[in-house]
Structures are given as structure tokens and as C-alpha cells.
Amino acid sequence: MPDLIFDMETQDPDDVLTLCLVACHPAVRLRAVTLTPGSPAQTGLVRHVLRLLGREDVPVGAQDPGTGKDHVSAFHHKWLGTPPPAQPDAAPGELMARTLRNHPETILLTGAPLRNLGRLLDEHPEARLSRWVAQGGFAGDNVVPPELRLPKFAGRTTCPTFNFNGEPRAARLALSSGGRIGRRELVSKNVTHDIRYDRDFHERLRPYRDRTPGLDLLFSGMERYLRKKPGGKLLHDPAAACAAVDPAIATWAEVEIVRAEDGTWGSLPAVGSGTFITVAMDRRRLFEVLIGE
């Protein structure tokens, strides 16, 4: 069973939904959580979620950005309340490095701007990742076959991608890290914009919600979300988590990631690069991975 570090933020529901999934998933062992930007309010919220899931054993890494803001969206407060601020167990780069020393084959899953991965690479030159799975990047028409292209992205070869643009220096560093990261797998928006948690998805999940505390909490969060937004939510980070659990649910292309002058990101075919990006995902199999089958 693979070990996992999850690097997350709390401005969007996606990351806490993903935490619910990976904290209790039967196919992975969550070893650590790191936070961006790392406020005490974020740490308090994540500790609260881990307590609800029976995973108080999971250490939390964060570094207070000193902005005076909690960096927690209003949805989280409505769903989970407002737990008191808390202090982390370690700085994020140190916690990542420590986890890798103890569990060298640990997978890093990133659902946030890549500041903490940048810290790991900058501050711990001895650290090596066997596999990094990121929600981010874009595979355009030069990579995706015509039959797999989403109409909304037709004609594009580059596109903005939040998690890379949130910390572009760290993104470039991680994407050009050579042997320090054995395999880089990017779950791109050309895939996640085709995976929606809507009312039909919700009702399909209902019979399985009691399988784990994580699925139950995820279900309750989306029950609240759908009351306000019946159109549902795109599953960006949860899709990346499912690909981390089982990469066979996706079709991958080996690429080099490039950044255009306007700040958009794209992909160029590049055999031997060690970087792979999704061009399609099997939604039936994704659901099966999500429920632990």
C-alpha cells in the first residue's frame, strides 16, 4: 500500500473533499498534510477534519504567512464550523523531508500552488521523490487527440492553470528537477473540466457513503454545496487523488511543460522527459476508485 503526503489549501472546497478521500482510503496511507499558505486557522481546520475522520495521528506542516487572514473559505465554516486556530507539527518542507526519510517511496499529491514543494527542493537538497502527482497543467490540441478534446478548450495549446501560476518559480523548479523527482504526473484541466460532482453523482455515491468516515464527511459537504449550487462542482483535486491511487484510470502523454509569455501553460510531446499529463480519464473507473473498489 503506497504512502502519501497531501499538500493542500483551503480557499476552495476541492482540497478538503480530497483530504476526506485520502485520509480514509483503503488503498493509500496518508502520512502527512502540508498547507498553503499555512495560517493557524487552516491548521486548526485541518486538525479538526482529521479528528472527525479518526486520523489525529497524521502530522500537519505549515508556516504562518503572517497576512492576518485565515485563508479559509466561507463554505468551510458553514460545513465544518470554525475550530480554533492551531499550531503545526513542523514547517512544511521539513515535514515533507522527514516523511520521505521515513518512507522513501511516498507519493506527493499537490492540490495547491507549489510553494511547499519549492521549499522541499530548496531547503532539503538530499530529498528525492519517486512520484509527484499534481492537479495542474494543460494539455492542448498539440497533445490531445481530436476525439478526446473538450469543446471548451478546442483550438488552444496553452491555458492558465491556478496551481502553477500561484507559485511559478516553484513550478518551474519542480518540473525541471531531473532525478530529484522520479516521475511527474499532472492531472490537467482538459480532464478535470469533464468530471463534475452533480446531483446524479451525489445520488450514485449515496449507497457507499458509510464505507469510510471520509466518504461520509465528503457526502455531507456536497449535500450542503448542492443545495446552494445545484449545478454541482468540478472535481479537480479529487480527480488527481484518484489518479494518485490508480494511475491506470487515466490516459497519459509524456511531455515537456512550457510557460508562454502571457503566463499560460502548455505541453510539448517529449519522450523521456519523465513528465506525464492526462489527456483523458475513465469516469466509471474514477468513481470506483473514489469509493474504494
Q: What is the pLDDT of residues 249-271, one digit of tens each?
A: 999 999 999 999 999 999 999 99
Q: Are 231 and 255 in contact (CB under 8 A)?
A: no
Q: Are 232 and 180 in contact (CB under 8 A)?
A: no
pLDDT category at 64 given cuts 50, 70, 90 is very high
Which pLDDT belongs to residue 189? 86
Cell of 151: 469543446
Written as one letter, the residue type at 178 is G
* Three state DSSP letters for the chain: CCEEEEEECCCCHHHHHHHHHHHHCCCCEEEEEEECCCCHHHHHHHHHHHHHCCCCCCCEECCCCCCCCCCCCHHHHHHHCCCCCCCCCECHHHHHHHHHHHCCCCEEEECCCCHHHHHHHHHCCCCCECEEEEECCCCCCCCCCHHHCCHHHCCCCEECCHHHHCCHHHHHHHHCCHHHECCEEEECHHHHCCCEECHHHHHHHHHHHHHCHHHHHHHHHHHHHHHHCCCCEECHHHHHHHHHHCHHHEEEEEEEEEECCCCCEEEEECCCCCEEEEEEECHHHHHHHHCCC
Sequence-distant (≥ 6) Cβ neighbours of residue 243 within 8 angstroms: 133, 185, 187, 249, 250, 278, 281
Q: Give the domain ranges of the chain.
A: 3-290
Instruction: Please compute the mean of the pLDDT values over residues 268-282 and round it to a whole number.
Output: 95
Which pLDDT belongs to residue 164? 96
pLDDT tens sequence across 71-81: 999 999 999 99
Average pLDDT, the chain: 96
DSSP-assigned beta bridge partners for residue 5: 32, 108
Which pLDDT belongs to residue 178? 81
Which pLDDT belongs to residue 99? 98
- The pTM score is 0.97
Which pLDDT belongs to residue 43? 98
Tell me: pLDDT of 243 over 90: yes
What count of residues does the chain have? Answer: 293
Which pLDDT belongs to residue 291? 98
Tell me: pLDDT of 190 over 90: no
CA distance 216 to 117: 30
Which pLDDT belongs to residue 263? 94
pLDDT category at 203 given cuts 50, 70, 90 is very high
pLDDT tens sequence across 89-116: 999 999 999 999 999 999 999 999 999 9
Which pLDDT belongs to residue 115? 97
Assigned superfamily of 3-290: Ribonucleoside hydrolase-like (3.90.245.10)
pLDDT tens sequence across 107-161: 999 999 999 999 999 999 999 999 999 999 999 999 999 999 999 998 999 999 9
Which pLDDT belongs to residue 240? 98
